[in-house]
Amino acid sequence: MVYPGPYEQGEFALSEHQLRSYRNKGFIQLRGLLHETEVADLLREAKNLVTASARERRPEAVFESDGREVRSVFRGHELNSVFDRLMRDGRMLDVARQILGSDVYIHQSRLNLKPGYAGKEFYWHSDFETWHVEDGMPRMRAVSCVVLLDENNEFNAPLMLVPGSHMHYIVCIGQTPQDHYKKSLRKQEFGVPDPTSLGFLMERGGVQSAKGPAGSVLFFDCNMMHGSNSNISPYPRSNLFFVYNSMENRLESPQHGLQPRPEFIAARGADLSLERVAPTPR
Ligand code: 6CS
Ligand code: FE
């Protein structure tokens, strides 16, 4: 969804054509938005963050089922000053504010490692379905911003998206257990759409993979049906996700009497919108 607001003329705002494409498809990829030296810095920071989080067995570090490989590290924007600066960078923030039509804050950030040979799949899902039910996010007024730290190609399990799927809310079958995140972040079993609903969406919109060079940035609607395969290639596929939520869409109580999820997965304390920083000169 695209919302009207005071940020339509931001320095890095999308053009009318780009915004129309985002509104219809539910996503847009900007190739080469970040330059090589920035990406190299981000990869170095990512490796340091993973090593430290794994060594200290921080709750923000989610391991693959083998208990060895790190699958994701959450809350990097608060654990690392380079990531903090990046999510305030006008090249990302101007687009998020334009799409959401308001000031924004970070609902969640995560570094998905997808290491070569060992990165396991993320089955099809809508993030909003989880954030609405388990975090109490009221409306579809959030956007995920994905910074490709590695090249995403046909071999290393790029993100797959279903164009137009953001326009349909798929109710999922089953009762979400308390503390579901302890399993779902590794292998999601609840909040998973049924094959008939997936077929309905894919017949209409097909499937598109977000392949692109490192330094590309993908924006996708919070209700976009997406997933990714296991990575059996030798090439890692590290992607850095920032979820911008509108300050007008802050979390309420989770559905069905569920307890709120931990702050590192779903920020509730944000009472200030993000302060923008200018991009680092090339
Ligand atoms: O539960 C969540 O918030 C996480 N789960 C998935 C599969 N994607 C969004 C998010 O990282
Ligand atoms: Fe997701």
* Residue boundaries of the structural domains of the chain: 16-253
CA of 119 to the centre of ligand 1 (A): 16
Q: Which residue has the tokens 């099809």?
A: 124
Atom of ligand 1 nearest to the CA of 241: 11
Tell me the ligand closest to 130's alpha carbon.
Answer: 1
184 CB under 6 A from ligand 1?
Answer: yes
Atom of ligand 1 nearest to the CA of 185: 5
User: Are residues 172 and 190 in contact, defined by beta-carbon separation less than 8 angstroms?
Assistant: yes
Which residues place a Cβ less than 5 A from the ion ligand 2?
Answer: 127
- Number of CB atoms found within 10 A of residue 82's CB: 16
The pTM of the full predicted model, rounded to 2 decimals, is 0.97
CA distance 123 to 279: 34
135 CB under 6 A from ligand 1?
Answer: no
Hey, what amino acid is at 95?
Answer: V
**Residue 95 clears pLDDT 80, i.e. is over it:** yes
CA of 226 to the centre of ligand 2 (A): 7
Largest distance between two CA atoms of the chain? 50
pLDDT in tens, 16-72: 999 999 999 999 999 999 999 999 999 999 999 999 999 999 999 999 998 999 999
CA of 281 to the centre of ligand 1 (A): 33
For a mutational test of ligand 1's pocket, the pick from 108, 111, 121, 220, i.e. the residue with the most ligand atoms closer than 8 A to its C-beta, is 108
pLDDT in tens, 191-240: 899 999 999 999 999 999 999 999 999 999 999 999 999 999 999 999 99
Q: Which fold has domain 16-253?
A: Jelly Rolls (2.60.120)
